[in-house]
Homo-oligomer: A and B are copies of this chain.
Amino acid sequence: MLMEKGNGGRGVALLLGFLAFFALAFGGEDEGVSVWPMPKSESHGSQTLSLSKDFKLTTRGSNYPDGSGLLKEAFWRMVDVVQVNHIVDGRVPSSMVLAGLNVAISSADDVLNFGVDESYKLDVPAVGGLIYANVEAQTVYGALHALETFSQLCHFNFDERIVELHSAPWSIFDEPRFPYRGLLIDTSRHYLPLPVMKVVIDSMTYSKLNVLHWHIVDEQSFPLEIPSFPRLWFGSYSYSERYTVANALEIVQGVGYPDLWPSSDCNQPLDVSKEFTFEVIEGILSGKIHFLVDIIVSVFYALSMKDFSKIFNFKFVHLGGDEVNTSKFEHLLLLLTGLDTADSCWSDTPHVKEWLNKHGMTESDGYKYFVLRAQKIAISHGYEVINWEETFDNFGKQLSPETVVHNWLGDGVAEKVVAMGLRCIVSNQDKWYLDHLDATWEGFYMNEPLTNITIPEQQKRVIGGEVCMWGEQIDASDIEQTIWPRAAAAAERLWTPIEKLASDPTLVTGRLAQFRCLLNQRGIAAAPLAGPGRAPPVGPGSCLKQ
């Protein structure tokens, strides 16, 4: 921020005035830690380094062979994303230059599964001739997180036109608080084209979310190809609003075969009286495609959509079990209320009614039978099962003890689940449902999964949480801004140690605004912080202040 040389006359007073102005206007923008989510532990200095135009990746001391190019490609994507909004055509000084990044990974393999070590150390020295930043990580997945953090330390110098790294030396040790940090997207209520999904997945990695819960099909549409049951996707909204197997890696609930539901008037639930129903489930689970009602896909790869096809197949399968509507006329939470006498399409369909009678089951018994049998099938194929919380609320003691209960109805549930010895994922709808536009980012930030859970053994059973982008009222036109920045607030709640979280969300407003602007600069349509979800800006102004 040089004073222009020819501007004589006004002297020192104006110079100081200008400097004061900039301190006030821009104070805090590049100060302190601007990383989101906040790392577990960090220390930094006040030096500025310039990135070499020939910034390199080295792997001295690493055991990871990178045969698939996972690390190398992530490095180059990181370099691209740092520069995406800029043209770096200035001259790099001759000293205090960061020549590259050395990444040393302990583990030789890149098997990805729930619970993989995501920790990393990132050190950026501020001395030396040829300075290298250093990453150490147990697995390549930790290293990928380190690259994301590193990218957020880089800033463009508009005067010199070079990329700089401020506040060196840095010493960061980081690892997540919870291993399951998810985002649900819903392609049944609205088809989401692949480019849109890929942008969403890329954006997840910027805040270190690591599980994509892909709710592919539901009552309204079935867009996914199932090769062994090729008529299923006739339930797509239109010919083009579909995913081929090549587009999507996993499959879900079978719908579309008349046999699979009791009658054409009764779209759900799957016909419990038909062995065929369970054959479909078994067929899906035993084949190449592993999921039933929902898809849970781990997205450690997702710094680039080139790797979308390598998305690892989680050991978890989400078996649904929520809001099962056995009534043709109302979307009751039938089982929660204990009503089993209301009209139900099961009971309207003679053969189902007959079957239920024969087995001495009410409809809610039938629902329980379905859930428990589906669980057994999944477990027999080596999966761990997740079920929505109604199954716990209604017959928790009969669920497999390995069940992970997915809480969504409200708060106060996780504590009951873990007290009973089951594991839990938190998505309480009053705070973490993104389609609830009145749920503010502050509410997302302050939603503590371990509320009222104090016994360490029980705390461990909360494996994490998930923000849910249900699709009834969002589509390709507005999904990004409905997800961001509110999902980022939850991402920090799930990553950062509780003692480093702000007790008052206003304390992080500036840093979250910076992260929101970073998302915008990376081409992600994150909304202003102010107002409800996806509110437009109320008037002209800086990205950092809206």
Residues of A within 8 A of B (CB): 1-4, 7, 18, 25-26, 29-30, 84-87, 89, 155-156, 158, 161, 188-191, 193-196, 199, 220-221, 225, 229-231, 233-234, 237-242, 244, 246-247, 471-478, 480-481, 517, 520-523, 525-528, 534, 536-546
Q: 4 closest pairs, A vs B, by CB?
A: A237-B542, A195-B523, A87-B246, A189-B540
Can you report 17 residue pairs joining A to B where beta carbons are below 8 Å apart? A86-B194, A87-B247, A155-B240, A158-B233, A188-B540, A190-B541, A196-B520, A196-B523, A237-B543, A473-B538, A474-B537, A476-B525, A477-B528, A477-B534, A478-B527, A478-B534, A525-B525
State the CA gap A30–B229 with chains docked (Å). 25
Q: Which residues of B contact A1 (CB under 8 A)?
A: 234
Contact between chains at B537 and A473 (CB < 8 Å):
yes
Q: Which residues of B contact A545 (CB under 8 A)?
A: 237
A237: which of B189, B196, B544 is its contact (CB, 8 Å)? B544
Q: Which residues of B contact A195 (CB under 8 A)?
A: 84-85, 521-523
Interface SS of A by simple majority = loop
State the CA gap A230–B158 with chains docked (Å). 11
Residue of B nearest to A247 (CB): B87
A26: which of B191, B225, B239, B472 is its contact (CB, 8 Å)? B239
Residue of B nearest to A186 (CB): B540
Q: Which residues of B contact A544 (CB under 8 A)?
A: 237-238, 241
Residue of B nearest to A30 (CB): B239
Q: How far is the CB of A519 from chain B (nearest CB, A)?
A: 9
Residue of B nearest to A242 (CB): B158
Residue of B nearest to A192 (CB): B520
Given the known interface contacts A237-B541, A238-B29, the answer about A193 and B536 at a Cβ–Cβ threshold of 8 Å is no
Residue of B nearest to A482 (CB): B536
Q: How far is the CB of A88 from chain B (nearest CB, A)?
A: 9
Q: How far is the CB of A28 from chain B (nearest CB, A)?
A: 11
Given the known interface contacts A231-B7, A523-B196, the answer about A537 and B190 at a Cβ–Cβ threshold of 8 Å is yes
Residue of B nearest to A156 (CB): B240
State the CA gap A526–B30 with chains docked (Å). 35
Contact between chains at B158 and A244 (CB < 8 Å):
yes
Q: How far is the CB of A479 from chain B (nearest CB, A)?
A: 8
Given the known interface contacts A29-B240, A476-B525, the answer about A194 and B542 at a Cβ–Cβ threshold of 8 Å is no
